[in-house]
């Protein structure tokens, strides 16, 4: 897979990096890459409409029983 744009999430450092390919052979390669970066930043700044469903707490059933553990 070849990607022209990549968003990297670093959970350890709590950072986000946007990486965009800039075609150095093209006259407007750098300015195109800057425009692409700005478009991605604008998209990321929009509020998300994603909602995670609330999951019920699973019931724990011991496989060994309390007497075998103690």
pLDDT in tens, 17-53: 999 999 999 999 999 999 999 999 999 999 988 888 9
Answer with the residue of higher pLDDT: 64 or 30.
30
Q: What is the DSSP annotation of 5-67?
A: EEEEEETTTTEEEEEE---TTSTTHHHHHHHHHHHHHHHHHSPP---PPPPPPPPP--SS-HH
Q: Residue 69's pLDDT band (boundaries 50, 70, 90)?
A: low
Q: Residue 70's pLDDT band (boundaries 50, 70, 90)?
A: low
Task: Evaluate if pTM is beyond 0.75.
Answer: no
């Amino acid at each position: 897979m070849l990607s022209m744009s990549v968003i990297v999430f670093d959970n350890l450092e709590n950072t986000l990096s946007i990486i965009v390919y800039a075609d150095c052979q093209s006259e407007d390669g750098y300015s195109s890459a800057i425009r692409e970066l700005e478009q991605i930043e604008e998209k990321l700044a929009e509020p998300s409409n994603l909602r995670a469903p609330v999951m019920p707490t699973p019931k724990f059933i011991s496989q060994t029983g309390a007497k075998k553990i103690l």
